Chain A
Amino acid sequence: MSEFRYQIKSVLDNVLALVEELEANWVANGLDKDTVFALRTAFQEAVVNAVKHGNKQNPKTTVDIIYRLSDSQLEIEITDEGEGFDYSSLPDPRNKDQIMKLGGKGVFMMKKFMDRVEFIGKGNRVKMVKLRNLEGASKMIEDILVFKPGDEINANSTGKLRKVFDEIINSDKKKVVVDLSGIEYIDSAGLAILIEFFQRLQKNSGKLHICGLSSKISKIFEVAKLNSIFKIYDSFEKAYKGF
């Protein structure tokens, strides 16, 4: 794993210069075009936020960036000197009452273009992860398979999902993390397929850890009493380390 550290003064010009530098680094490290574009989008939004909203463009303040690259993923941590913000209740900018608003799109774009985005503490630090070489949005990290389904799990997508789960069972994976942080909605058909997968995995003496539940999905799990049968973790780190 290689680690890169940068510190920039809170000047917007510096952000773009750094973005260019890192982009070259990503390309040089063999990342594909789509991954580079996604990283650039998320990284630029995050550092601009740190400079503009966090440090209020005060050139006496700095933004710290740590960027770690391994075979399986890229992790970027950005810290500013600001007061942070309430990241627990950000409205979805795609909602009808939000879509015409000029602000509130940046953080959402970060979340969409990265595999994980986590604000830490008071919100002046953000940690973002992009998994490398996403094949069907799944990735082995050591002996753990991490699978992140797309937008929704419903009657339309269960066929595709079942195929992925079949593959996982057939390839005899024993440790599986299903990261639902990209999921906005799950219906009863989706829950059924998740339960079925869980049972098959268990029969094969495998383990399923679930993380990344939004408050909406959390409620659905609670109502269906699934939180008592599934092992649910409140962060990817915990789900991953929980094996």
Chain B
Amino acid sequence: MDVSRETLKDITICKIAGDININNAAQLRKLFEEIYKEGARKVVIDLSSLNYVDSSGLASFIEFLQRLTQAKGILRLSGLSDKIANIFEVTKLNTIFQVFENVERAKEGI
């Protein structure tokens, strides 16, 4: 898993590439915690280079969504490949996450 991030105005864009699995899900949780503690409340996650996510990875996303929602923040996901989108659809997580085609779209009106 490779992570990069940038902040544009008040929007934090975080790109996660590679595989998210049981071995690095904890690292991801830590990253999300950091972003939250830095005060970011509008977050776009770019998943266009994400190859794989398992249930522990999904849990990290849900946890982050809960935190941001509680703080009246916004979390948006973007650029899901068909495979990743399928995982979100099968688990119906596409009903709780805001999912966008790409980062540009996700940034609009956030």
Report if A and B associate in a common complex: yes
Interface residues on A, range: 20 to 34
Report the separation of the CA atoms of residues A68 and B84 in the bound assembly, to the nearest whole angstrom.
Answer: 27
Which parts of A45-104 form the interface with B (CB within 8 Å)? 45, 48, 52, 93-94, 99-103
Contact indicator B22/A109 (Cβ below 8 Å): no
Q: Which residues of chain A from 80 to 134 have a CB within 8 Å of any chain B CB?
A: 93-94, 99-103, 105-106, 108-109, 112-113
Is there an interface contact between A41 and B96, defined as CB atoms closer than 8 Å? no
Given A41-B54, A105-B55, A109-B55, are A48 and B22 neighbors across the interface (CB < 8 Å)?
yes
Segment 24-81 of B: residues with Cβ below 8 Å from A: 52, 54-56, 58-59, 62-63, 65-66
Q: Given A13-B23, A16-B23, are A100 and B62 also a contact pair (CB < 8 Å)? A: yes
* Docked pose: A41 CA to B19 CA in angstroms: 12
B9 at the interface (CB under 8 A from A): no
Residues of A within 8 A of B96 (CB): 99-100
Query: How far is the CB of A15 from the nearest CB of chain B, in Å?
Result: 7
In the complex, whether B4 has a CB less than 8 A from a CB of chain A is no
Knowing A103-B59, A105-B58, the reply to whether A93 touches B91 (Cβ < 8 A) is: yes
Give the CA-CA distance A45 to B59 in the complex, in Å: 13
Task: State whether the Cβ of A35 lies closer than 8 Å to any Cβ in chain B.
Answer: no
Q: Which residues of A contact B22 (CB under 8 A)?
A: 12, 15-16, 48, 52
For A92, the closest partner residue in chain B by CB is: B92
CB distance from A45 to the nearest CB of B (A): 6
Closest-CB distance, A133 to chain B (whole angstroms): 19
Residues of B within 8 A of A243 (CB): none
Chain B nearest CB from A12 CB (Å) reads 5
A52 to B65, CA, bound (A): 25
- CB pair B62–A48 under 8 Å, yes or no, is no
The answer on a CB contact under 8 Å between A45 and B21 is: no
Given the contacts A13-B23, A105-B59, A109-B87, A44 and B54 also touching, CB distance less than 8 Å: yes
- Whether, in the assembled complex, A37 has its beta carbon less than 8 Å from a beta carbon of chain B, the answer is yes
Considering the complex, give the chain B residue whose CB is closest to the CB of A51. B22
Contacts of B59 in A (CB 8 A): 102-103, 105
A15→B23 CA distance, assembly (Å): 10
B83 at the interface (CB under 8 A from A): yes
Per the 8 Å Cβ criterion, residues 13-55 of A in contact with B are 13, 15-16, 37, 40-41, 44-45, 48, 52
19 pairs, CB–CB < 8 Å, chain A vs chain B: A12-B22, A13-B23, A16-B21, A16-B23, A37-B83, A48-B22, A48-B56, A94-B91, A94-B92, A99-B93, A101-B62, A102-B62, A102-B63, A105-B55, A105-B58, A105-B91, A106-B54, A112-B91, A113-B90
Query: Which residues does B use to contact A, with CB under 8 Å?
Result: 21-23, 52, 54-56, 58-59, 62-63, 65-66, 83, 87, 90-93, 95-96
A-side residues, CB < 8 A to B, are 12-13, 15-16, 37, 40-41, 44-45, 48, 52, 93-94, 99-103, 105-106, 108-109, 112-113
5 extra interface residue pairs, beta carbon distance < 8 Å, beyond A100-B65, A109-B91:
A48-B56, A99-B93, A100-B66, A103-B59, A105-B55
